[in-house]
Amino acid sequence: MGESGCGKTTFGRAVLRLVEPSGGKIVFDGKDILSIPPAQLRGIRKQMQIVFQDPYSSLDPRMTVERIVGEGFAIHGPPESISKNVKFAQRERIHQLIEQVGLSDDHMSRLPHEFSGGQKQRIALARALALEPDFVVLDEPTSALDVSVQAQVLNLLKRLQGKFGLTYLFISHDLSVVAHMSDRIAVMYLGKIIELAPVMEFLNNAKHPYTQALIASIPIPDPKLRKERKGIEGEVPSPINPPNGCRFHPRCSLAFGDCGWEGRDLVPFMIEHEKMLDPKHPMAKHIEKLRQEPFAAIADLKTGSKPDVVKEWLQSWTSELRKTVPMLDALVAVDRISGNKHILVRCRSGRIPADLLAKQFLNLLNPQVEYRERGNPLFGLIANAELDGEKVIIEAGQGKTDSAVEFVTNFVKRLRKTTNPELKALSDIRKIESGRIEVKFREGKMPVKKTAVELAKRIEDAFESDRSSKFYNMLLSVKATRNGVTLKVLGPDDNWDNLASELKSYFSGSIKKNDWIDKAVSGIAIKSAKGPEDSVAMKLKKSSEPDLVDIGNSHLVACRLCTKSACDIETQ
């Protein structure tokens, strides 16, 4: 469950592979269905069905009910029956399905426009049950229906679940409906699951602030028991560019310094709350404008203004408000910065050694495929895989060499299209000895832009994130460009020369280690750039996205306030 637009429907479609996920696993009946080639998915699809949200658009208006419900038989074959007459067996099965969802034989020859919304959803449910699936995705099946009809459909779903032993993935934004239908509840916010728990544990002991707010918003149908309900403040951020760290922190009343604050949080606070650009504010005569960086707020100064004056005022202001404004607790530095220059670390296309690509391929194959697990569909297809220099030697199961070659070829194609384009350096996949396959690589070429992305990560890890570095928490605007990486450094001009010298020393030393990313560096220099000569930056610490943590009773929460040892949030 979750707000509209949080990704619930996309999640349901991804589980069925109606849209292709970019990563992760989808384990169904002990099998990772992402490892199954598209051509072999048909057998799995019989076991996994979906009822769509809108009954008015999910049914073909030109088909009768009989054809709609029997559509699955046209694709997967007729139902099992003692009768040798296929048409009779199919019609008999459709008749049973129509009765099971509360309709009658008279409805079989009618078209969808002749039915109400509730009846249309019953038809869609009959279609989903036709192939006797084990798992059904119910994508808000009652959201387009009247309240009285909703109750009928929900009761029907519960009855059919008990009768046929179905497993439902029930998607909704209505907590009361979800609680009625579910054994476990997962809450999604901006495309991520932030809490997962059994129903009663969820309702009585919700931990995530977002979940608490959702539960508090449920109306109580008793005027004497009315409660004060405080809504969630602020607008839902864009899922295309979600907040850093915890995605809920800009709207969270319990957020603190480690939640992942950014420049886009701090700059509006400085403008709207502190009103620093108001002519009456003491800093208005010094600050030309305030702008945001991913992890910093930048105050560009007017001509003739002294950076030290603004720096001292901001330091004093932040120290006064730290205890009352959680965002300012994430502040790690306030210092001057030159806006009219940057350091450019220029790079060329990266040349990835063949043996490194072979090792990378093997590392991708082992955890994603899990062919050694008995429940995996590839168990017996691939027996083993080992690294041999620039080659990976794969042992296929007895008599399954051709199938293994086909799988490996499709596996590489999927990686090339999604996350690993460098695997285009694959030179050959061929059968060698009996039951053995050789996957051979040549030297790979990484495009300059992607090499720059990897180089930016390397610089951040070595200089910005390493506590032993002289430039720890002092780098700003580390950006991958078309021809390299640009970055800036806080503090006086001497810091720029020192950083450039440190970078040259680091990469000249790394070349001896034969690291392909570092070898791609072709030059380091301080360059002029567009921007004000003097600015003052307020640097915020970075924070990773919190993982789901089990706090006991099968209750998982993704929140900085919750740890394995304790959960400090009290149900409100």
Q: Where are the domains of the chain?
A: 8-182, 198-258+543-572, 259-338, 344-349+447-534, 351-445
What's the pLDDT at 571?
Answer: 39
Q: In what order do the strands lie in the sheet with 436-441?
A: 382-388, 391-396, 436-441, 426-431
What's the pLDDT at 283?
Answer: 94
Query: What's the rounded Cα separation, in Å, for the pair 249 and 448?
Result: 35
Query: What's the rounded Cα separation, in Å, for the pair 563 and 543?
Result: 16
CA-CA-CA-CA torsion sign (320, 321, 323, 324): positive
What's the pLDDT at 570?
Answer: 43
Per residue of the chain (572 residues), give pLDDT as tens: 888 888 899 999 999 989 888 777 788 877 778 777 777 788 788 899 999 988 888 899 999 999 999 998 888 888 877 667 788 888 888 998 998 888 888 899 999 999 988 899 899 999 999 998 999 999 988 887 778 788 888 888 999 999 889 999 999 888 888 888 999 999 999 999 999 999 999 989 999 999 988 888 777 777 776 666 666 888 888 888 899 899 999 999 889 988 999 999 999 999 999 999 999 999 999 999 999 998 999 999 998 899 999 999 999 999 999 988 999 999 999 999 998 999 999 999 999 999 999 998 988 887 655 555 655 555 677 788 899 999 999 888 878 888 888 888 888 887 887 778 888 888 889 888 778 899 999 998 888 998 999 999 999 988 888 888 889 889 988 999 999 999 999 999 899 999 999 999 888 865 545 688 888 999 999 999 888 889 999 999 988 899 999 988 899 999 988 864 444 444 33
What's the pLDDT at 466?
Answer: 83
The answer to whether the beta carbons of residues 65 and 124 sit under 8 Å apart is no
398, containing H or E segment = none
- Topology alike, domains 8-182 and 351-445: no
Angle between helices 401-417 and 354-369 (to 10 degrees): 100
Structure token digits, residue 444: 């790979």
Cβ-based neighbour number of residue 341 at 10 Å: 18
CATH 3.40.50.2300 for domain 8-182? no
Which residues pair with residue 567 across a beta bridge?
562
Could you give the angle at the alpha carbon of 477 between the alpha carbons of 475 and 478, nearest 5°?
Answer: 75
CATH hierarchy code of domain 351-445: 3.30.70
Query: What phi and psi, each to the nearest 5 degrees, are found at residue 555?
Result: -105, 115
What's the pLDDT at 367?
Answer: 66
Query: What phi and psi, each to the nearest 5 degrees, are found at residue 292?
Result: -110, 140
